[in-house]
Amino acid sequence: MSAAPSACPDCLRRSWLLSHLAPYIEKIATGAPGSRSPELLRLSGEDLAEVAAPKVAKQILARIAAIPERRLFDDLRAAQCWACCRHDPLYPTGLRDAADAPWALIGRGDPALLGELEPEAVVTVVGARRASSYGREIARELGRELAATGIVVVSGLAFGIDGCAHRGALDAGLTVAVLGGGADTPYPAAHRSLWRRICESGLVLSEQPPGAIAWRWSFPARNRIMAALAGMTVVVEAAERSGSLITADLAADLGRDLGAVPGPVSSRASAGPNNLLAGGACLVRDAQDVLDAMLGPGAQRVEKAGMPLDPELLEILEAVERGEDTCDAIAIALDLSGADAASALSRLEMLGYVSCSMVGVYSRTLLQPPR
């Protein structure tokens, strides 16, 4: 067995301090929607306590200092978590560059996978919780293809883009979820089963101790971890004041690559990435673009040409690309009978060229027919 991660009690106490100070930080950080939390976290424990809770700073610091060492590790064990502090060789190298990096990472899953978290092999995929089916499909494909080429896909377990990126990556390789609350507490709760699957085959990380709940300020705080872990951050869909853009800013501050998936100019959900592109972010159309940006053009190729298609299926595929998204719309656009349109769409779905949502709406996947 490879070296188990370890953490020194002082670094761990920092995590415990954060969770004790959480409500006080919430008060001072939420004035300017959460954005100040990563800066606050650069402060030392004493200063942070002074700033956040001047009246009770001494009591809180004393209480944290009084937690016996054994209690810290017992708590971790009880929650089936482990910890890895900045003094441990397994501590991800990407985080070492960041001035505000967490002192200790508390995680669930196989700790040996920490060794895989080299920034040049990690991509963070973030985006809106309120994502369109286009965004979700892209996130899923991006997650799957990146994971398939051996890239670790980092995201935040949130609804929408995050969840889809995780799901796609789970199908093909390794994924890491960074949480705002404790690593043993899936948030949102509806993603419990996804969280469990990630615990089984990937990693769930947090800087908060087990059982800590997520506050508003903890999301920008965890975004800084996601940005620092990865060599490249890709924004799939984000509205103009989305939290995903905080991740993008943080990544840019660290000098990491920043990518964005373009979307329709008229779509509010794509305003964020479109603005990033206008500002010089790397254009991401598929996993190949990400690999080219990270490893240099042509260093590694994504295999994604599908089975050859008959001319009539190609015609239908083009109709889906034009935005005819239900069986009925296709039948009308191409003047087919309902039965013929159904049969053709079903064959395209089986070949992986289109996918169908729960409410019967078709969307195009990234798979390209061979030319």
Partner 1 sequence: MVAVLATARTFTLDGISARPVRVEVDVHRGLPSFALVGLADTAVREARERVRAALANCGFEFPLRRIVANLAPASLRKVGPGMDLAIATALLTASGQLSWEAMSRLAMVGELALDGSIRPVSGVLAIAEAARELGADAVVVPAENGPEAAMAGGIEVIALESLEQLLPLAAGEWAPERPEPLPLLLSPNGYGPDLADLRGQRHLRYALEVAAAGGHSLMMIGPPGAGKSLAASRMPSILPPLAPEEALEVARIASACGWLKDPPVGGRPFRAPHHTISPAGLVGGGNPPEAGEATLAHRGVLFLDELCEFRRDTLEAMRAPLETGSVAIARAGAWRQLPCRFMLVAAANPCPCGRGEGDAECSCAPIAVQRYQGRLSGALADRIDILAAIRQPSAREIAGEPGESSADVRERVTVARHRQERRLGSGRCNAEMTPAEARECVLSDEAAALLAEAYSRRRLSGRAHDRVLRLAQTVADLAGIETIGREQMAQALQLRRRDQ
Give the nearest distance from C-beta 104 to partner 1 in angstroms: 32
Question: Does 28 sit near partner 1 (CB under 8 A)?
Answer: no
Instruction: Please report, for residues 110, 122, 235, 260, 275, the alpha-carbon distance to residue 270 in angstroms, rounded to integers and kept in the order given.
Output: 35, 24, 9, 9, 9
Give the nearest distance from C-beta 349 to partner 1 in angstroms: 7
| Residue span binding partner 1 (CB under 8 A) among the ranges 26-34, 197-205, 255-263, 346-354 | 346-354
Question: Does 160 sit near partner 1 (CB under 8 A)?
Answer: yes
128 CB-side CA count, 13 A: 23
Q: How many CB atoms lie within 10 A of CB 62?
A: 9
Backbone φ and ψ for 104, nearest 5 degrees, come out as -135, 145
DSSP 116: G
- Applying CB under 8 A, among 27, 308, 350, 368 the residue interacting with partner 1 is 350
Count of residues binding partner 1 (CB under 8 A)? Answer: 38
Residue type, 316: I
| Residue span binding partner 1 (CB under 8 A) among the ranges 96-104, 106-114, 213-221, 348-356 | 348-356
Question: Does 338 sit near partner 1 (CB under 8 A)?
Answer: yes
Question: Does 342 sit near partner 1 (CB under 8 A)?
Answer: yes
Question: Does 54 sit near partner 1 (CB under 8 A)?
Answer: no
CA distance 18 to 123: 27
* Cα dihedral across residues 65, 70, 76, 78: positive or negative: negative
Lay out the site mask for partner 1 across 162-201 (x = CB under 8 A, - = otherwise). --------------------------x-x-----------
Question: Does 307 sit near partner 1 (CB under 8 A)?
Answer: no
Nearer to partner 1, 138 or 344 (CB): 344
DSSP 122: E
Q: How many CB atoms lie within 10 A of CB 159?
A: 16
Tokens at 262, concatenated: 């373009």
The residues binding partner 1 (CB under 8 A) are: 129-133, 159-160, 188, 190, 266-267, 325-329, 331-332, 336-339, 341-347, 349-350, 352, 356-361
